[in-house]
Amino acid sequence: MKLCLVATMDTPHTHRWARWFASRGHEVHVISAVPSTVGPLPGVTVHFLPRLRTGVHLLDVALNGVLLPVRVARFRKVLRGIGPDVVHAHYVDDSALSALLAGFRPFVVTAWGSDVLIGPKRSRVLRRAVSHVLRRADLITCDAEHMRDAMVSLGADPRRIHIVFFGTDVERFQPRPRDEELESRLGLAGRPVIVSVRRLEPIYDIPTLVRALPLVLRRFPRAVLLIGSHGSEEPALRRLAADLGVDGSVRFVGSVGEADVPRYMSLADVYVSTSLSDAGLAASTAEAMACGLPAVVTDVCDNAKWVEHGRTGYLFPPRDAEALAERIACALADRPASREVGARGRERIVERNNWAREMERMDALYAGLAGGARAS
């Protein structure tokens, strides 16, 4: 089968998806609006079709609307060269719309979260574009019930929506001894470690985690917050840590590559996600749980369906630094109980979020559609 993914190559989700289907013998192509952040993927051909981004939301919407016919023509040219059996857009955006309008079917789209939960509320133009893609798609997937409901409200046919989790590689992400070389290099030996790998962007609310740190340090003065990501808020977060007098207890290590995430998880005693909104269970949260870490996450969206407070993890109200500090301190204070919580969290991921099993489900959905491949 020839599979064409319309997805950005700057995210591990795309790399994993493309790698898995290529490993199953499919011919995989990716049309990406951004260059690849990894080297060549065996069996995967990447086609780079850049889009215009100024950083000003309304201006981007207007300019990309004007340029839409040009992008559609470029997509059509690339897709004709590929001759795909299935076109699958990841994220409901202007690239998905361009791919849809290029006319190749069957057309699959996967909603990632903000594209259907937040974007359509920001402008009528976006709402109409997202609604058009969802109404015309032959198959839609998402990883949470509340996203299904949001898409139905935008006009999607509920019979075409399937819940398919992004999944976790439970063989790669599993409990392991601390990486002593990395621990020594970061100066973490013998210190309680709190880890966060969510992007440093407003939706992930990392400032609440930094504000919780002084409260944690009152009980655990040697604790360290390890921030393994990057984003537009990094300068402000560094200033906040300095203003609070905790900059010596924070390590900004930059974006952690997919292959290195298990090494960093091995150093941690607690994982934290302060996100204000998630689609389904965040990939990093699932990976931390698979590694046996007690996860402290915001009680938003579908998180409570995965993280049962006090049993498979800990929940706290969004933006509540005091509650977050209390949950972290609780996890650090009783290590045996935390290990049990972490073990039950891993069991939850193995049972319900196994990456290989979810990809096999997607492969079967593709097979059911591929016989109807056509170009209009």
> Does a structural domain hold residue 319?
yes
* DSSP string computed for 302-326: THHHH--BTTTBEEE-TT-HHHHHH
- Is residue 285 a contact partner of residue 273, using CB atoms and an 8 Å limit? yes
How many Å from the N-terminal Cα to the C-terminal Cα in the chain? 19
Q: Computed from CA positions of residues 123, 320, 315, 264, in that sequence, does the dihedral angle turn out positive or negative? A: positive
Stated as kind and residue range, the H or E segment containing 46 is: strand 44-48
> Does a structural domain hold residue 333?
yes
101 and 14 belong to one structural domain: yes
Q: What is the C-alpha to C-alpha distance for residues 152 and 161, in angstroms, rounded to an integer?
A: 9
347 and 317 belong to one structural domain: yes
For residue 372, the model assigns a pLDDT of 57
> Does a structural domain hold residue 172?
no
10 and 136 belong to one structural domain: yes
Write out the two tokens for 328: 């972290």
- Going by their DSSP bridges, the two strands 161-163 and 374-375 should be labelled as unpaired
Write out the two tokens for 61: 């919407």
Main-chain phi, psi angles of 2, to 5 degrees: -95, 120
Q: How many domains does the chain have?
A: 2
The residues facing 298 across adjacent strands are: 316
> Does a structural domain hold residue 253?
yes
- Going by their DSSP bridges, the two strands 104-105 and 374-375 should be labelled as antiparallel
For residue 78, the model assigns a pLDDT of 97
For residue 113, the model assigns a pLDDT of 87
- Nearest C-alpha neighbor of 256 from the set 191, 200, 321, 338: 200
- Nearest C-alpha neighbor of 323 from the set 349, 296, 284: 296
Torsion, Cα of 181, 15, 160, 111 (10° steps): 70
366 and 345 belong to one structural domain: no
> Does a structural domain hold residue 256?
yes
List pLDDT tens digits, range 247-294.
999 999 998 887 899 999 999 999 999 999 887 788 899 999 999 999
276 and 313 belong to one structural domain: yes
> Does a structural domain hold residue 248?
yes
342 and 206 belong to one structural domain: yes
Name residue 292's amino acid: G
221 and 129 belong to one structural domain: no
Helices (H), the chain: 12-23, 57-66, 68-82, 94-101, 114-117, 119-122, 124-136, 145-153, 180-185, 206-219, 234-243, 261-267, 283-290, 303-306, 321-333, 335-352, 355-370
369 and 322 belong to one structural domain: no
Question: What are the CA-CA distances from residue 274 to residues 40, 104, 157, 211, 303 (Å)?
Answer: 34, 40, 33, 11, 11
3-state secondary structure of 101: helix
For residue 58, the model assigns a pLDDT of 66
> Does a structural domain hold residue 79?
yes
State which residues of the chain have pLDDT below 50.
376
> Does a structural domain hold residue 173?
no
What is the residue range of 263's domain? 180-352
**Domain at 324, CATH number:** 3.40.50.2000
49 and 136 belong to one structural domain: yes
